[in-house]
A and B are shown apart, each in its own frame.
Chain A
């Protein structure tokens, strides 16, 4: 079954640690996205990619970085986590054709102590 996966679902980590949030999709979508969402707040686009070796920064400035070496994989990395990075991170993908319907993963809830 085609799907989009995120790991870990929950992560509690200390300040200064390096973390990587994983996102994989089995739908063969060219376009992938990372959103950040605080509880009860709107989704903010922080990174997107339109294909392998393509990455762009989104509307909300973020200290995280992303890579897209394989079509199905779009990991997000924080080199040095801080409490201000505490949030929900949602990965999504959409097809190259169509109307950009976003397929979301279950999200990673990150808490930085």
Chain B
């Protein structure tokens, strides 16, 4: 079965630094990977997606990379702020009527 693996250890980072979160997948490459932010007690919020033929995607302070050789996506938040503290979920999808599979998420804590 297809699996999405994220580092279950929380990531603590100093304000102003770049946070880097990792998402690894097994078996075949998904057509694209999605990243979501989830705050405690709330539903996830979609942030970015990257297609398998894209190496990198940016949106404001966010950057996502997709390495099909390593079967890995990296999610970067530059100039991190305490308000960025949340759990970040990676998800694989294949488009059309395919289901989306979520990873367990990585909790990010930005320390002032």
A and B are interacting partners: yes
**A interface, CB within 8 angstroms of B:** 31, 41-43, 45, 48, 50, 58-59, 88, 90-92, 94, 99-107, 109
Instruction: Check B32 against A59 for contact (C-beta < 8 Å).
Output: no
Contacts of A107 in B (CB 8 A): 41-43
Instruction: Check A42 against B102 for contact (C-beta < 8 Å).
Output: yes
Number of residues in B with C-beta < 8 Å to the partner? 24
What are 16 A-to-B residue pairs whose CB atoms are below 8 Å?
A42-B104, A42-B105, A43-B44, A45-B99, A88-B41, A92-B43, A94-B100, A99-B51, A99-B95, A100-B98, A102-B36, A102-B44, A102-B46, A102-B100, A106-B42, A107-B43
Contacts of B93 in A (CB 8 A): 99-100
Give Cα A109 to B42, complex, Å: 10
Instruction: Check A105 against B49 for contact (C-beta < 8 Å).
Output: no
**B interface, CB within 8 angstroms of A:** 32, 34, 36, 41-46, 49, 51, 89, 91, 93, 95, 97-105
Give Cα A68 to B89, complex, Å: 28
Instruction: Check B99 against A58 for contact (C-beta < 8 Å).
Output: yes
Contact of B95 among A42, A48, A100 (CB under 8 A): A100
